[in-house]
Chain A
């Protein structure tokens, strides 16, 4: 994985269908929909606004 920069990360929890989105600002969100999760990540810094 990359060593620097503004990184957005999506982890897929083994044994589940659950994805966790992790923004470079530290905000996290769980979802089972990658489209919705990218939308949320890319909304930085407005993670709390309705998508």
Chain B
């Protein structure tokens, strides 16, 4: 892996953002809208009193972490789509660039925009709704790591799908976080799900983050196994997603799709 090649992919994305600041709006606008929406909702729910936990801390905290993961996934996907829309693959793949370097460049771009988005959310949540992410202590760090790894895995998986099926497959990428939120307990404990759906919860790494947050806020710090399970699962998903993208790339090498891949193809 050569850093200069990863940097070139990152630089291209940064130039795109610089050239059109409206892109920044699309990156951060939904985050800001979401945080206000959920912030006021949690404040309203908290006003009833009688809850066994702090609604703002549990719900708003989970929403922020979930948005962070979703942004990582979508950041990778949209950076990839920029190359689809500009029909630029041939310039990159007929160069010394390796697939893993290309993907690392997309991840680096997504990390930057997602972390900026994360900080904006924390700032709004802290200033307006009194949310403090460190209320669960330093456990927040492995939680962020786990969600980051899984977000990258999902991002690679969906870009692989788009690379294989064509640009129209981008529509499979947008609803992934919303669909997954049903199973991973962002808004409610997974015990609220019917038993047959809890199987899906158990194989999805973010479940272990959100279940752990609820345990910690109830004073139960015995979450070590949750963290290990979640991290192991996230790394497995990352590895499988990378292999999937690689297999699609090799398939496209055989079919010639790399030079033909364009937004016009469906």
A binds B: no
* Chain A interface residues toward B at CB < 8 A: none
* Chain B interface residues toward A at CB < 8 A: none
